[in-house]
Every structure is written in C-alpha cells, then in structure tokens.
C-alpha cells in the first residue's frame, strides 16, 4: 500500500463514512474543521491519484456585471435611451442630424448599430423603427437582465444563455466566471482498506542526527517523497556546456592512458603545413582558407628543419618517396598564421620527443576562413591525438577511436577510406546517430615524408575530430551557432554533461 499522508487518511475516513454520498469541498471543510481549501483539495486529489477515491467535476459559469454594465445601470442601456429619445419626438424629426445633436459621437454610432440590430432602418436620412413593439420588448428584456445582475450573479443556464451570448459580444457589459465544482467518493479500493491504515500518525519529513542516534526511528513512519512534483529549478552557475564536454573528453583520454598537450594559436605555415607534407600549392593554404597574420608576418624556423622539409617536398628526402617535385620556398614556410588544425601540436610534440614513445591528446581551438552558417564557424575546436610507438598500427588506431566514442556514449563506430596529404592509409571516422552515419573526423598513419624529418622511424597513429559536431549531437542542437550564443536562458536549459 502506498503510504497515505495524514490529511489523506482523514479525508478518506470521511469519504468512507459518508454512506456512498459524494462530498464537496464545503462538506469536507466543515467536517474536518480545516480552514484551508487547498488542504482539502490536495488531500482528496492525492487519494484520487492513488485510486482510493474518485472525483466528479461539474463545470459551471456565472455571469456578473462588468464595468460598462455598472455604468448602464446608472445611465440606462444605450439602446433604451435611444428608444426613449425616438419616442419623445415626431417620426418626421427622427433625422440622423437630430440624433447626432442629441447624443455624443461615441454613442450615436454604436447606438444606431444596436437599433439596426433590432430592425431599424435608415431612409432618406431618417431613422425608422419598423417593428417598434418587438424592439421595445427586446430592449425591456435587456434592461431587466442587466438590472437583475445588480443584485446577484447568475448561473448561466438555458433560460438566460441567449441574453448572455448577446451581452458577451458587447465590450465590458458582463463578465463570465467559469468554476469547477468537485466532489469525491471513496472507491472500492478505498472502502476495502483496513481502518488501522487510516490512523493518523506523525510522519517524519527530515532525518535528524537525534533521530538516528536514538532508537525511535525504528517505529517511525517517513513521509514519502514525490519525485515527480514540480520544483523550481535553482539558477546556479554552471560551466558552459562546451566546456563541460571538453572536460569529459579530457577525462576519457586520461582514463585511456593519454597525456594532454597544448600549443599556440599562432604558428608558422612550416609547422602547420610543410611538416605535414601538405604541398605548398595546396588550395587550403591560400588566403581564402587560412588566416595569415600581418603582425608578426613571419616566424623563425631552424635552418635544419627547413632544409629537411625542402628535401622531402622536392624529392622525397631519404624516404622512398619522390616528393611533390617543383621548388620549395622557405619563405612560404616562415609565414605566420592562425593554426588551421591541431595536428600541428602533435607533430611538434614528436619533433621534440622523437625517440620517446608517447600517447598524447589535446582539445584546442582552430581557425579557418569559413562563412558562418548552420554548420560552419571560422573558429572551432578539434580533438587531436597520436600514438607514437614502435608497434603502432591501424587496428590500434581504430580500436582507440572506437573506445573513445563508446566511452562518450556512441558505440557504433565505423571507418571509411579517406585522403589526407599526411597519412597513409587515411580513414574517416563515422558514428551512428539516430540511424544515420555522421562523419566526425579524420585519422590515419603518418606518412614517412612526415615522420622521417621529425626524426622517428616508428609509425604514428594520428587523428583529428570535430568537437562542435559531437557537442551538437550530445546537446541535440541543429545549429552550431547556438553553442556560442551568450543567451543564459538557452544555456541554462541545455543538458548537464
């Protein structure tokens, strides 16, 4: 049996004693001696919810005078005053001009409208009441109705519903109040209950140290919690959802044994692109795609690095590759830019630790010249990582990415062949989301043209995934811009990650 509150016990006891009669709020107020109607209704409705009682609801409407109605009571209804005026003068003198002189502008128009509704017509500037008896009768009824409301409100019923409908169409003459009258009866389940279950007892709402230290808790009854009750949502501070997601990603990679690396936004084209064997005439290197800096316009790079890249790009260096051919421009390498991917961080990490096995990751901001739309921003984040060790392999890479996404809640991961200038083989990673495969990033094994100048012979598993795309899936957004709008209302409603 679900625990009943004391008030519910009291009300159910009364409903069981009523001999089958339904009890209303007033009855229950009197019988309980309570003063708060809400207590009666709350307890009775609680019983209905738990099926110990049934409720009957009767809707009714009452009509009362509105502000214009009260005025009409003092001045007379407009149509009544017009009728009186018409009756006071000869039919030939009932001209519109005379009417305008006798009534204020704000009344003459609506008044004529009302008389027309009662069969009046206007002929050669004169107002003619064709069926004066009928109009008089109807006006008398209206006057009587308004007058009757001076004393008391009326239940809307068949006998007055036409009058109510008429005055409802006239502004502020009457007001309608709808009420629901409820009454309750014990259900069979309520009648079957043992009387002992209805004995009121003290219910404990809060456990205190005192209670716990003594023995009394053994026999106490505890107040049930209604976990579905609407409660105000406290407006406390919280991390931005994107920040929460980054923290979660960090936790996942750390848990998988990776260490975190970071890097600068400002990089040279050499480290951002040449080190990755991206040909110097690659379209993504143009000003249309990449933000180059005016200040500093160029950055220094060690001479040895430059000549190694030059070698690899022009002829493959000491690898078996033939390179891209053409001539490599070291000034192009020195150009300063805003990093276009975080792969620059992992490459630099290998350059600094060429003979140390490493598993590192980073989540960082990158910059590309993109037109802002639903799925693109010129600044976004990548989730980057590498495994650099003697036995690194493609299956190891795929397993790592599968593990990462499944820890993030997406266990269906598939890879497809792809192309990047710096990896071979190259793959694209997709996850299954609501029946659709969505591409979340690229990965692969760095080419020898990349690793050889970095000073390592070990294979490198590398990946770079989109953060915002993942955030949109997790937060259920369909516009990337929503992630960057400082609308506290919207942000406070995003799910906690």
Site residues, ligand PHE (CB under 6 A): 341, 343, 420, 423, 442-444, 462-464
Nearest-approach distance from CB 412 to ligand PHE, in angstroms: 21
- 222 or 419: CB nearest ligand PHE: 419
Can you read off the two tokens belonging to residue 183? 């009454």
Nearest-approach distance from CB 280 to ligand PHE, in angstroms: 17
Q: How far apart are CA 387 and CA 389, in angstroms?
A: 6
Angle between helices 6-17 and 37-49 (to 10 degrees): 80
- 244 or 343: CB nearest ligand PHE: 343
Cβ neighbours of residue 444 closer than 8 Å, sequence gap 6 or more: 397, 418, 420, 422, 423, 424, 425, 426, 427, 462, 463
Shortest-Cβ-distance residue relative to ligand PHE: 464
CB-based burial, 241-270: b 16+ in 10 Å, e otherwise:
bbebbbeebbebbeeeebeebebeeebbbb
- 145 or 361: CB nearest ligand PHE: 361
Q: What are phi and psi of 97, to 5 degrees?
A: -65, -45
- 8 or 468: CB nearest ligand PHE: 468
Nearest-approach distance from CB 298 to ligand PHE, in angstroms: 23
DSSP 447-482: -HHHHHHHT--S-EEEEEEEHHHHHHHHHT-S-GGG
Around Cβ 402, how many Cβ atoms within 10 Å? 18
Nearest-approach distance from CB 444 to ligand PHE, in angstroms: 5
Q: How far apart are CA 430 and CA 207, in angstroms?
A: 51
Q: How far apart are CA 347 and CA 344, in angstroms?
A: 5
- 46 or 444: CB nearest ligand PHE: 444
- 258 or 420: CB nearest ligand PHE: 420
Edge-first strand listing for the sheet containing 460-466: 259-260, 358-367, 379-388, 460-466, 436-446, 423-433, 413-417
Q: What are phi and psi of 247, to 5 degrees?
A: -65, -35
Coil vs helix vs strand at 182: strand
- 47 or 443: CB nearest ligand PHE: 443
- 115 or 269: CB nearest ligand PHE: 269
- 323 or 464: CB nearest ligand PHE: 464
Exposure of 40 in the CB half-sphere (CA atoms within 13 A): 21
- 69 or 442: CB nearest ligand PHE: 442
Nearest-approach distance from CB 443 to ligand PHE, in angstroms: 5
Nearest-approach distance from CB 345 to ligand PHE, in angstroms: 11
**Interstrand relation of 221-222 and 203-204 (parallel, antiparallel or unpaired):** parallel
Nearest-approach distance from CB 482 to ligand PHE, in angstroms: 23
Nearest-approach distance from CB 446 to ligand PHE, in angstroms: 7
Nearest-approach distance from CB 420 to ligand PHE, in angstroms: 5
Q: If you ran DSSP here, which 8-state letter would residue 335 be given? A: B
Nearest-approach distance from CB 392 to ligand PHE, in angstroms: 13
């Amino acid at each position: 049996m679900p625990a009943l509150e004391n008030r519910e016990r009291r009300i159910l006891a009364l409903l069981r004693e009523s001999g089958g009669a339904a009890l209303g709020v007033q009855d229950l107020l009197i019988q309980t001696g309570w003063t708060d109607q809400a207590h009666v209704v709350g307890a009775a409705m609680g019983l209905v919810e738990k099926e110990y009682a049934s409720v009957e609801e009767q809707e009714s409407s009452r009509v009362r005078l509105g502000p214009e109605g009260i005025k009409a009571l003092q001045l007379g209804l407009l149509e009544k005053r017009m009728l009186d005026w018409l009756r006071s003068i000869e039919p030939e003198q009932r001209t519109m001009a005379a009417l305008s002189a006798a009534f204020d502008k704000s009344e003459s128009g609506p008044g004529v409208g009302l008389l027309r509704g009662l069969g009046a017509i206007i002929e050669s500037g004169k107002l003619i009441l064709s069926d004066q008896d009928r109009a008089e009768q109807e006006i008398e009824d209206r006057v009587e109705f308004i007058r009757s409301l001076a004393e008391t409100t009326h239940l809307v019923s068949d006998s007055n519903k036409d009058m109510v409908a008429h005055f409802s169409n006239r502004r502020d003459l009457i007001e309608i109040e709808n009420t629901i009258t409820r009454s309750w009866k014990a259900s069979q389940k309520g009648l079957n209950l043992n009387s002992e279950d209805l004995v009121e007892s003290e219910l404990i709402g809060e456990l205190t140290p005192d209670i716990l230290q003594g023995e009394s808790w053994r026999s106490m009854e505890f107040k049930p919690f209604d976990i579905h009750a609407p409660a105000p949502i406290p407006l406390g501070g919280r991390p931005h959802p994107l920040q929460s997601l980054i923290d979660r990603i960090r936790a996942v990679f750390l848990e998988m044994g990776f260490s975190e690396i970071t890097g600068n936004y400002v990089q040279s084209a050499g480290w951002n692109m040449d080190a990755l064997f991206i040909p110097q005439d690659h379209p993504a290197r143009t000003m249309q795609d990449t933000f180059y800096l005016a200040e500093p316009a160029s950055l220094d790079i060690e001479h040895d690095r430059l000549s190694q890249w030059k070698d690899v790009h022009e002829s493959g260096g000491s690898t078996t590759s033939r390179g891209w051919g053409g001539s490599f421009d070291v000034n192009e390498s020195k150009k300063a830019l805003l990093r276009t991917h975080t792969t620059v961080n992992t490459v630099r990490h290998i350059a600094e630790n060429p003979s140390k096995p490493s598993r590192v990751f980073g989540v960082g901001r990158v910059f590309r010249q993109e037109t802002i739309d639903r799925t693109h921003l010129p600044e976004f984040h990548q989730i980057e990582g590498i495994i650099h060790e003697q036995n690194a392999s493609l299956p190891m890479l795929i397993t790592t990415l599968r593990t990462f996404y499944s820890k993030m809640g997406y266990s269906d991961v598939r890879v497809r062949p792809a192309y990047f200038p710096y990896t071979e083989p190259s793959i694209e990673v997709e996850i299954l989301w609501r029946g659709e495969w969505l591409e979340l990033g690229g990965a692969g094994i760095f080419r020898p043209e990349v690793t050889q100048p970095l000073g390592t012979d070990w294979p490198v598993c590398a990946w770079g995934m989109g953060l915002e795309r993942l955030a949109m899936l997790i937060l259920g957004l369909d516009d990337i811009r929503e992630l960057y709008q400082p609308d506290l209302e919207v942000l406070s409603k995003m799910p906690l990650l």
